[in-house]
Amino acid sequence: MMPVLFLRFANWCNLWGRSSDNICNMMMRHRRWPAILVLVAMVGIGVMYVRSWGKGSAGSGESIAALEKQIGRGNVSLETWNKYAQRLMEVKRFDDAATAYRKVLEKEPGNRGAKTGVAIALAKAKNEEEFYKYMSDMTYTGDAKMAMDIFDRGECQAWLSQARFATLAKEARAQAMD
């Protein structure tokens, strides 16, 4: 293939004062428009993807203020409390989120998502006593398997450096095995 390319460009090299005996390094020239169109299309797709972040899981996109108005009117549904708690977690109002998740548990005591939400919100709020009490209740009277799973989450790993939380996590693991 090289001799064919050399012969193809031999005349061009001679135009620039180079003899055909020397090697002429010539790059192949390709059209730029297809590459530019692909680049523009990929940037467009990337922009659409980035703009869609947060819209997929946000549901109807209700703000915290709108949810608070709805809660203020009374007779709040389980779904509204759940949305409200999720929004509070997103804006890092963890104490309020724990309270909202507890409202979900009042309406539906077996809701595993709300139980996990209370625990994670209390852990992130750095509310040590409430988190310990909640996890103790879950370990000894509630669902020890769930307590073990919560202690295994990344949000709760910092608490395990304290002796009482490490002991509670071991007790949850032991209770879950029974």
Residues 134-175 have pLDDT tens digits of 999 998 887 888 989 999 888 888 888 899 999 999 998 888
Average pLDDT, the chain: 81
In a domain, 131, yes or no: yes
Q: How many domains does the chain have?
A: 1
Query: If you average pLDDT over residues 96-115, what whole number do you get?
Result: 91
Q: Could you tell me the CATH number of the domain that includes residue 111?
A: 1.25.40.10
**What pLDDT score was predicted for residue 27?**
64
Position 159 in a domain: yes
Q: Would residue 3 count as lying in a domain?
A: no
Q: Is residue 38 part of a domain?
A: no
- pLDDT value of position 159: 86
Triad 103, 95, 68: Cα angle to 5°: 55
Distance CA 152, CA 130 (A): 19
Residue 48 in any domain: the answer is: no
* Tokens encoding 104: 């979900």
137 found inside a domain: yes
Whole-number Cα distances in Å, 96 to 59, 69, 102, 124: 20, 15, 10, 12
Determine the structural domain holding residue 143 and report its residue range: 64-177
